A = this chain, B = another copy of it.
Amino acid sequence: MSTDIAISIRNLYKVFGRNPAKAMEKVHQGMGKDELLEKTGHVIGLNNVNLDMERHRIQVVMGLSGSGKSTLIRHINRLIAPTEGEILVDGEDVIKLDQQALRDLRRFKISMVFQKFALFPHRTILENVGYGLENQGMAREKILETSRQWIERVGLNGFEDHYPQQLSGGMQQRVGLARALATDAEILLMDEAFSALDPLIRTEMQNVMLELQNELQKTIVFITHDLDEALRIGDTIAILRDGVIVQNDDPQNILMSPADTYVASFMKDINRARVLRVRAIMNKPQETDSGPVIKPNTTIETALQIFAESSSDHLIVADRSGTRVGRLTVEDLIRGMRRPSQSEIQAQQAVT
């Protein structure tokens, strides 16, 4: 199951400007983003991106603003044509699809939430949410029903007949979300889908998404700037920099062994106590120990709470079958919360 790849991106390049083909030559010769911009006025959007996204998983994409996240995600449903490279969705190259096939792909298989909402100003909320369904050719009644249901789910009942410009930013974003979810597509592209939401509704929406994920097992590509969010929902996290993927890994691994200082500095503000699991920092178990027993997946934060309530000076980590797999002291936990220092990362990089 874990090797079932839904979306596969191969050697993808995208250059913006008047004459991308010409600029591409320079890129192949290794010219960087800044130099290319200065010398030719062309902007590198994506630079040799290779990325496999597993089915039924949530792939998070992060990176500085302008690093090419939106550009990448827009390639998947071919809103942008690549300068070079392939995008395989279920093994088919979307670039080679004909009009009809592309349309069907977008109607039934891929759905999208836009960074700047991109709602239809002339349609009410209800009509906006139903838009994808209309394109699918669903019956009117069914559309209304489904739309209402999704409006309810994103907490906008009562606003069905308002127009987008009468809603606040966050409300608009939820409309965009509902519109995308309503189509019941297998693949969801979410470009900063929660960025305009306040933390409460954001958590709520994240929960909606995680629930859905449990029920329906979609493949989701999720762009976010929020590290906590990324770590909370991401199965894997890809980090982009100037159009290049610098790391693509499991969140724990990214936190514990960042590929370079860029990634590390990216992660530095994270609430490590809430994200890191004890398995990543525990020591070898000692048979003689006694004390509270916790699971390997417990977060440091929870572990600390348990500590505070017990009188033991260490915790025992045991897997589901009860086998002891490790032990932890308060010091271990506190050390685990520390961010790796510059020199440590460099040392690590040298090893890999």
Contacts and interface: CB of A to CB of B under 8 A. Distances in A.
A169 B200 contact: no
A228 B70 CA distance: 25
A306 to B, nearest CB: 9
A289 to B, nearest CB: 19
Given A116-B116, A269-B203, A330-B308, A65 B158 contact: no
A7 interface: no
A64 B201 contact: yes
A120 to B, nearest CB: 16
B265 A305 contact: no
Interface in A183-238: 192, 195-203, 225-228
Nearest to A330: B330
Nearest to A232: B269
Given A34-B158, A335-B308, A171 B330 contact: no
B269 A169 contact: no
Interface in A163-195: 166-171, 173-174, 192, 195
Contacts of A65: 168-171, 173-174, 196-198, 201
B201 A337 contact: no
A62 B331 CA distance: 36
A83 interface: no
A196 B228 contact: no
Contacts of A228: 269
A305 B338 contact: yes
A196 B202 contact: no
A38 interface: yes
Most chain B CB within a 10 A radius of its CB, from A166, A198, A301, A305: A198
A63 interface: yes
A307 interface: yes
A271 interface: yes
Contacts of A167: 66
Interface string A33-45: 0100110000100
Contacts of A70: 168-169
A121 to B, nearest CB: 13
A34 B157 CA distance: 10
Most chain B CB within a 10 A radius of its CB, from A66, A116, A196: A66
B304 A266 contact: no
A273 B266 CA distance: 19
A330 B70 CA distance: 45
A108 interface: no
B200 A266 contact: yes
A201 B226 CA distance: 12
Given A71-B168, A271-B271, 17 more contacts: A37-B158, A62-B198, A64-B170, A64-B201, A70-B169, A115-B169, A115-B196, A116-B116, A116-B169, A195-B196, A199-B227, A202-B225, A226-B226, A271-B274, A273-B273, A308-B338, A330-B330
28 contacts: A16-B166, A34-B158, A38-B158, A43-B166, A64-B170, A64-B200, A65-B174, A65-B197, A65-B198, A65-B201, A66-B168, A66-B171, A69-B168, A70-B168, A169-B192, A199-B225, A199-B227, A200-B265, A200-B266, A202-B225, A203-B269, A226-B226, A271-B271, A304-B334, A304-B337, A305-B334, A308-B331, A308-B338
